[in-house]
Structure 1
Amino acid sequence: MNGGLETAVPGTIASAGERAGDAHHARGPCPNCGTVLLGDYCHACGQTAHLHRTMFSLWHDLLHGAFHFEGRIWHTLPLLFTRPGELTRRYIAGERTRFVSPLALFLFSVFLTFAVFEATGGMFGHHGGISRDGVALTARQVAAETDSLKAHVAKLKADRAAASARHAETREIDRQIATAQENLAGMRAASVIATGTLDGPAIAADVQTGWPALDERVAAAARSPDLFLYKLQSSAHKFSWALIPISVPFIWLLFAFRRDVGPYDHTVFAMLSLSTMLLGICALSIGAALGLPGAVIGAVLVFGPPFHMYRQLKSAYRLSRFGAVWRTIALVISAYVAAMLFFVLLIGITD
């Protein structure tokens, strides 16, 4: 009877054998795709054959979904930091089930980096700096000092006009006016930092790159740096994927005469390397928020990336020590160039 029910209703979620709990392997068609089941999982779509309809099963599905990714994470992260070349080589060779895909890991690292930066203020902890109230107070002080300097300049100019009318010497007054105007220009620059706006004539950013859109954005940054930095951060989040195509050509150049490796290998290498750097920045930011000394953070930033690149290059591409060393030096230089190109791209596309 039970077997007939299963045959008559292919879409039944819980089979009679499952309800009885006496069948090790489910029978009948897969509830998801209809393929005849041969074991605990459908060999066509991969869905588990044993499905549950209890409240506990909802929590089980939630935890399984989270820890399915995390289970791969715990296989991926140790190798990513301790044996990155082996991880790169094994993934390219076809070991995919045990590890998080490089692209998913990169996107997760980007998301985590921005989340950690928002929470901690980054490696240099801007949350430990001037508060919003402090910024407002500084802006008021700058405005008051600017008004005072304007009044002083106006008084000096009136004194000079009176002296000139008497045909008196004005050299000393001219010197005082020049000094006061320099101080006033300095206060206007301070106004940009304190408030993101200008009190008085705009300060022109004299930058001529030959790219009009870039020149315009540099000028906008000078007029309102806080707003521009906010937009820049938003653009960096949305266009972080551009780091991959920017980086891959530099890696390709290091192996231009190797026929056994290609663009796919270099892309996997780039994504895993970038993920490591981003996750390392996250760890350092959290460490800074917890009071990690700046000297330790600086040492890790200086020596960590080259050491990791060396290990990943040497093992992933099976290089000699000399081959790995010179390529590491070239890759470090390339990373700075790629970062500069990415930054210029962000400035160019940020409205």
Structure 2
Amino acid sequence: MTGIEATGEFVTGALMAGAIERTSGERHEHSEAHALCLNCGTALVGDYCHRCGQPEHIHRSLSAIWHDLAHGVFHFEGQVWNTLPMLVWRPGDLTRRFIHGERARFVSPMALFLFSVFLMFALFSAIGAHFEVPENKPPTEAAQAIARAQMPRAKAELARLIAARAAATTPEAKEALTQKIEKAREDINGLNEITVWKPGRDTNLKTGWPRLDAGLRHANENPNLTLYKIQSSAYKYSWALIPLSVPFLWLLYAWRPQYKLYDHAVFVTYSLSFMSLMVIVLTLLGTVGVSSNVIAPAAMIIPPLHIYRQLRGAYGTRPFRAILRTIALIVFCGMTLLAFLAMLLALGVLG
């Protein structure tokens, strides 16, 4: 993906996220007064209709298209700068304040999640981060001829090593010869792969489900297409991580009736947004040459620390209990990712 395409993804993500954000109510001093809302006909008492929310002032010019584009991106961006510092340093306070009603000041969790996912996949596409299976090319005729010529010598050497091991009198000698025999067998298997080349990749897995067997066969014949489908599904169905995660968090506070499923969903969605943004930052650091000795520990330490701080602030959990719940959530996160990967694999094979 080119830089223009990546920018397009960024703008699309901002517009999509901004589209589900409620406006915080900008005044339009130059607006024309309308006695009735042009959308629903309700009598107006301010800049916005109190029934449907449409602004009293409407645009009707070609420049309005660009105004809406800029407003959608930069109005959302303004809320982002109110939200990001708290998401990074005080995620629990952000979660609690949003749940308790402070909505206009902050980006909603779903909008931020959509924006971060768009941005993350745009970055991956821009830097060419995707998975591919190496192409299974046939060996050349010259390579096959060399392998056939070496095969008798390799088999003779294997037979000699087996006979020598049988005649060995000490355990040390037998062990050394056993290791050489294993190496000789590996060499013979490698020569066999060259002399008896088979296109594709062998799979004898039969499930008894015709559709699944057909999908596995197609995946074996074209693994890169299957990987492409899986990566596309990860982009399209990333939202599924939210309903997969919420039940696990509910289990940790099931005996606390003051916390509703909505509260847990806000917690999970903000947490996933942070993790996506963290992946973006660490990926960018990797592309500019920061050592993996720095990136890998950060990727291991930051997520549990962030979860701990969010639990402490959002639920008022005491330190020791927050540590225990953090450990439990990390285990649950692994289970959630396994379920999500299983879903992606099924979509890639059966889709």
TM-score (norm 2): 0.71
Q: Is the 8 A contact 1:110 1:278 kept in 2?
A: yes
Deviation at residue 78 of structure 1 after TM alignment: 1.8
Residue 72 of structure 2 corresponds to which residue in structure 1?
Answer: 65
Worse-matched range after superposition: 313-322 or 94-103: 94-103
What is the identity, as a one-letter code, of the residue corresponding to 1:70? Answer: E
Residue 230 of structure 1 corresponds to which residue in structure 2?
Answer: 228
Distance 1:53 1:117, change over 3 A: same
* In 2, Cα distance between equivalents of 1:23 and 1:346: 51
* In 2, Cα distance between equivalents of 1:91 and 1:210: 50
Residue 340 of structure 2 corresponds to which residue in structure 1?
Answer: 342
Residue 251 of structure 1 corresponds to which residue in structure 2?
Answer: 249
Deviation at residue 348 of structure 1 after TM alignment: 2.2
Deviation at residue 54 of structure 1 after TM alignment: 5.0
Same amino acid, percent of matched pairs: 43
Residue 99 of structure 1 corresponds to which residue in structure 2?
Answer: 106
* In 1, Cα distance between equivalents of 2:295 and 2:55: 46
* In 1, Cα distance between equivalents of 2:306 and 2:289: 25
Instruction: Show structure 1 runs of 5+ residues with no match.
Output: 1-20, 161-169, 189-197
Deviation at residue 74 of structure 1 after TM alignment: 2.0
* In 2, Cα distance between equivalents of 1:275 and 1:91: 15
Equivalent position to 1:303, from 278, 297, 301: 301
Is 1:44–2:41 an aligned residue pair? no
Deviation at residue 64 of structure 1 after TM alignment: 1.5
Equivalent position to 2:38, from 9, 31, 45: 31
* In 1, Cα distance between equivalents of 2:142 and 2:335: 42
TM-score (norm 1): 0.71
* In 1, Cα distance between equivalents of 2:199 and 2:67: 63
Residue 77 of structure 1 corresponds to which residue in structure 2?
Answer: 84
Residue 279 of structure 1 corresponds to which residue in structure 2?
Answer: 277
Deviation at residue 146 of structure 1 after TM alignment: 5.1
* In 2, Cα distance between equivalents of 1:179 and 1:38: 84
Deviation at residue 312 of structure 1 after TM alignment: 0.5
* In 1, Cα distance between equivalents of 2:321 and 2:210: 42
* In 2, Cα distance between equivalents of 1:46 and 1:246: 33
CA offset digits 1:102-128 (Å, max 9, x no partner) = 222222222221111111245xxx79x
Instruction: Show structure 2 runs of 5+ residues with no match.
Output: 1-27, 163-180
Distance 1:146 1:344, change over 3 A: farther
CA offset digits 1:143-180 (Å, max 9, x no partner) = 567524553367779x99xxxxxxxxx94599999665
Residue 266 of structure 2 corresponds to which residue in structure 1?
Answer: 268
Residue 316 of structure 2 corresponds to which residue in structure 1?
Answer: 318
* In 1, Cα distance between equivalents of 2:336 and 2:104: 31
Q: Is the 8 A contact 1:113 1:281 kept in 2?
A: yes
Deviation at residue 301 of structure 1 after TM alignment: 0.1
Specify the SS of the correspondent of 1:350.
helix
Aligned positions, number = 302
For residues 72-151 of structure 1, the aligned pairs below 5 Å read: 72-122=79-129, 139=137, 143=140, 147-148=144-145, 150-151=147-148
CA offset digits 1:70-106 (Å, max 9, x no partner) = 2222222222111111111112112222222222222
* In 2, Cα distance between equivalents of 1:178 and 1:24: 84
What is the identity, as a one-letter code, of the residue corresponding to 1:249? Answer: P
Distance 1:230 1:24, change over 3 A: closer
Larger Rg computed on CA atoms: 1
Q: Tell me how large the CA RMSD over aligned residues is.
A: 4.1
Distance 1:53 1:333, change over 3 A: same
* In 1, Cα distance between equivalents of 2:336 and 2:114: 18
Equivalent position to 1:152, from 134, 142, 149: 149
Deviation at residue 349 of structure 1 after TM alignment: 2.5
Q: Is the 8 A contact 1:85 1:311 kept in 2?
A: yes
For residues 185-196 of structure 1, the aligned pairs below 5 Å read: none
Distance 1:202 1:63, change over 3 A: closer
Worse-matched range after superposition: 328-337 or 45-54: 45-54
* In 1, Cα distance between equivalents of 2:87 and 2:241: 19
* In 1, Cα distance between equivalents of 2:337 and 2:29: 60
Residue 17 of structure 2 corresponds to which residue in structure 1?
Answer: none
Specify the SS of the correspondent of 2:277.
helix
* In 2, Cα distance between equivalents of 1:24 and 1:342: 49
* In 2, Cα distance between equivalents of 1:146 and 1:231: 35
